[in-house]
Structure 1
């Protein structure tokens, strides 16, 4: 069990990064929830990652990498004994990555302490059964409780769940159990191809989250709440690759939820006013942009973020 009030639940995996025209494939430990936890740790917040990996060669790589980060990790045994492996194809022209997966997400249990203040999840962990149901239950345990915030990053992977209707149903169930939901324009275009991403984001908000954040790559991001919509454009960036950029963005969003807040309050709280949301989006966009300037999932430190924010 963990006594840390901030918890990330989800997969740790190995990305096999294959660049166009390259002869070699490079294994890099990753996984969206693991990346978010590492990024949040680098931004100075105590956080525990509840995750699972197998006793196999990819799992050994994950274990070594997580040990180096200094992150507090609660490893739950995997029923299958397997570690998820993702093949990431990187386009040299744009730095964007397309993925294929050998997925396993089957932790034997997901322990959530009652004093958890912030719970983040998403990606494979909310769609891959048998344990997506466990993750949803963990979200429901905290959702709606005073001083608690449940946040999710959809990070949709059609290669893992190609059934659009099933994936959409899982996302809607998650949205009803979350306070904050982040999604990319690519996520929403795949889930609701008949709607523009901004329309889909508003529809997602109607399922119950108090805040929906839409990321738009080089065009920045938009935040939607019941009372307002604000946007922030991204500055031009020399992109190496986009691996982990959305996770770095999410870590900055979680940082904003944790405070300290402009009104002086501490603890998990959702920003609401237009000016506060604009400030939050600006920091998130800068954080995500910095992550694209280096290969693999390498989120910025707090000092790097402060320097970049001043320069902007």
Structure 2
């Protein structure tokens, strides 16, 4: 059996049409949450492969060129359709926040996840857009529960691709049962379970099977939930350019913090044993997310940038 050695990120690559509402300008920007996460992990110096797909169309050509220039190891999965997902991101100039609409295409024929996978990450459109969502769920099932390995999910809820709240909740609950780590924002959980405090929803998710649930609150930081322990970490105050990719940068740091590389070249996933260990991981995560907001577009920090910023807190 091949030893586990790397992080594998599974999900869509797409083109964001970023619409700055005040200026009335629109610019194409390749990315997608899973692609952003994989690039962030790569910049943090961890071995990572992005398993994704794109079409043989103009947006797909833009994605292919972009990914080729990142230095990222990319595995283009065979797909049953020829389209590339396009997202329209509306950026509010006053707050830097972004809202989205999608023309989604996510139809990998299968998800190739090798035996060298220590940590599998997925989320966003890939877990709710059919037919690819079913392939992603099966890939998570295959890895879940294996010793030294883990599945991580960033819900990154996008009602524009699945407006049926009950159907979205069912997809999330199925995924949580085969995940070790689930991350969600307060906005994600408020939409999924309206009228309920997001912290209570996070605890409900934890009770469904994961070993760790992380709740992000934007500028207010994040809270981690372990069985029997909870810890909150404040986010550093920064000047925000826009929020695109901030959650993805946070998730990259979370994956990097859980990935334990060994001297023989193998790797395992090390879950925080207590609140103190979890706090150390989350401190890097909130710094990574904050750094991403100081830049236009999805630009996760490098390992050196993260070390410098974390040391300055």
TM range (shorter): over 0.9
> Residue in 2 aligned with 1:133?
134
Match of 1:17, SS state, is strand
- Between the aligned partners of 1:21 and 1:285, the Cα distance in structure 2 is 29
> Residue in 1 aligned with 2:237?
236
- Between the aligned partners of 2:261 and 2:218, the Cα distance in structure 1 is 28
> Residue in 2 aligned with 1:278?
279
CA RMSD, aligned part only? 1.4
Give how far 1:270 is off.
1.1
Q: Is the 8 A contact 2:6 2:46 kept in 1?
A: no
Matches within 5 A, 1:1-312: 5-259=6-260, 267-312=268-313
Match of 2:28, SS state, is strand
- Between the aligned partners of 1:5 and 1:44, the Cα distance in structure 2 is 11
Cα deviation, 1:276-295, whole Å, max 9, x if unaligned, reads: 11111110000000000000
Q: Is the 8 A contact 1:89 1:99 kept in 2?
A: yes
Q: Is the 8 A contact 1:149 1:269 kept in 2?
A: no
- Between the aligned partners of 1:206 and 1:74, the Cα distance in structure 2 is 34
The list of structure 1 runs, each at least 4 consecutive aligned residues, that deviate by more than 4 angstroms after superposition, is: none
Match of 1:15, SS state, is strand
- Between the aligned partners of 2:91 and 2:225, the Cα distance in structure 1 is 31
Change (3 A) 1:25 1:268: same
- Between the aligned partners of 1:137 and 1:120, the Cα distance in structure 2 is 13
Q: Which has the higher strand share?
A: 2
In structure 2, the gaps of 5 or more residues are none
Q: State the TM-score, normalized to the length of structure 1.
A: 0.96
Match of 2:305, SS state, is helix
Cα deviation, 1:39-73, whole Å, max 9, x if unaligned, reads: 00000011110000001111011001101101000
- Between the aligned partners of 1:76 and 1:114, the Cα distance in structure 2 is 17
Change (3 A) 1:48 1:4: farther
Cα deviation, 1:122-178, whole Å, max 9, x if unaligned, reads: 000000001101100000001011011100000000000000000000000000000
Give how far 1:78 is off.
2.5
Cα deviation, 1:200-231, whole Å, max 9, x if unaligned, reads: 00001111000000000010000001120000
- Between the aligned partners of 2:293 and 2:188, the Cα distance in structure 1 is 19
Match of 1:6, SS state, is strand
Match of 1:82, SS state, is coil
Give how far 1:109 is off.
1.3
- Between the aligned partners of 1:210 and 1:56, the Cα distance in structure 2 is 41
Match of 1:25, SS state, is strand
- Between the aligned partners of 1:50 and 1:99, the Cα distance in structure 2 is 23
Q: State the TM-score, normalized to the length of structure 2.
A: 0.96
- Between the aligned partners of 1:173 and 1:272, the Cα distance in structure 2 is 25
Give how far 1:5 is off.
2.9
Give how far 1:236 is off.
1.3
Change (3 A) 1:4 1:85: farther
Give how far 1:266 is off.
5.4
